[in-house]
Amino acid sequence: MLTIEPIQTLAQKISANVERVILGKHAEVELALVALLCQGHLLIEDVPGVGKTMLARALAKSLGCTFKRIQFTPDMLPTDVTGVSVFNQKTREFEFRPGPVHAQVVLTDEINRATPKTQSALLECMEERQVTVDGVTYPVPQPFLVMATQNPIEYEGTFPLPEAQLDRFMLRIHLGYPATKDEMAMLDAQQFAHPIDHIAQVVNAEELLSAQRAVKEVYVDALVKEYILALIEATRKHPDIYLGASPRGSLALYKTAQVRAAIAGRDYVIPDDIKALATPALAHRLIVSPAARLKNVDARAVVDELIHSVAVPGSRAAV
């Protein structure tokens, strides 16, 4: 029988620790935890200076996991990410030197500043949890989370992520500017030192792996599954959408809903879990049609519209 309390307690510990650094962003921190607990990857899209890197660092320190940061630039090569085989003069053999992607929490900063060839070096490790170099496959450590950041404002000198790579991110979140009171608290907290220097590990990798296995047992009713598929199907038929969500989008919504339910202390998923996660799980997977783009139609607005228009199977209209 599934016991929810350990999962909920673990999530609360990590969330409280991270929120000592990232102030006033409880919902966004929770979404990062959702991606982590369902073994997905996270895309943080926002302007510079709002705490994207700090969120990744605080999460890694809370877990006691190995952490590597990759600052993407146009001159980077795929081997700068995955690692390279080097000839050892003493042994007269080639030996593999792992790249920064061989860590448990990997921050890929400004991912859209790297060329498509370098961006594609992440595809295999994100989906299959392994890296192949010179025909030899090397597994990445577990747990494994890629947190990528990109600036949605300045596109000069950038290479937009292709649809195949966007689809591999389980969730996309936006931190946004802090509220005035939170920014005031931030000024006070950083007067002498940064809070990131004072947070400690609150869980270990084994506890996290155990929680990742446990959340898969959260019950999802057939009607809730029908609701997920109805939303996905609606994205494929919407007149403003050129390309709807893929089956990977269905799985993302299913898995993240299980985790959100567990964090809330439930061993079953409700339709509200699906509604809360639809935008971060689906919007980045949709391609708006050229005609709709001319009218400034945004994929997030389309998902919000579908949340309100697609009926939950088995529900009855209020009278």
| Predicted local confidence at residue 33, as pLDDT | 93
Run of H or E residues at 84: strand 83-88
CATH of the domain at 246: 1.10.8.80
* CB 113 within 8 Å of CB 158: yes
Among the candidates 217, 242, 260, a domain finishes at 217
The residue segments making up the domain with residue 283 are 218-314
In the three-class reduction of DSSP (H, G, I as helix; E, B as strand; rest coil), residue 297 is classed as coil
Give the dihedral sign, CA 248/128/58/56. Answer: negative
Q: What gap in Å lies between CA 315 and CA 149, rounded to an integer?
A: 39
Is 35 part of a structural domain of the chain?
yes
**165 shares a domain with 43:** yes
Give the dihedral sign, CA 24/27/33/39. Answer: negative
Is 319 part of a structural domain of the chain?
no
| Predicted local confidence at residue 231, as pLDDT | 94
**272 shares a domain with 145:** no
pTM: 0.89
Q: Tell me: the pLDDT tens digits for 230-260?
A: 999 999 999 989 988 999 999 999 999 999 9
Is 200 part of a structural domain of the chain?
yes
| Predicted local confidence at residue 317, as pLDDT | 54
Among the candidates 166, 183, 217, a domain finishes at 217
| Predicted local confidence at residue 154, as pLDDT | 64
CATH of the domain at 93: 3.40.50.300
Q: Exposed, middle or buried, 120 (CB in 10 Å: 0-12/13-18/19+)?
A: middle
* Mean pLDDT per 10-residue section of the chain, whose length is 319 residues: 82 92 91 92 86 86 87 89 85 85 90 87 86 86 89 72 86 90 90 87 89 93 94 93 91 95 93 94 91 87 92 68
**223 shares a domain with 107:** no
**52 shares a domain with 2:** yes
Q: Which residue has the tokens 């994929």?
A: 299
Among the candidates 217, 252, 277, a domain finishes at 217
| Predicted local confidence at residue 162, as pLDDT | 81
Q: What gap in Å lies between CA 232 and CA 236, rounded to an integer?
A: 7
| Predicted local confidence at residue 54, as pLDDT | 87
* Structural domain count of the chain: 2
| Predicted local confidence at residue 316, as pLDDT | 63
Q: What gap in Å lies between CA 47 and CA 150, rounded to an integer?
A: 8
**51 shares a domain with 172:** yes
Please provide the DSSP assignment of 228-256 as one string: HHHHHHHHHH-TTEEE---HHHHHHHHHH
What DSSP state is assigned to residue 178? P
| Predicted local confidence at residue 14, as pLDDT | 92
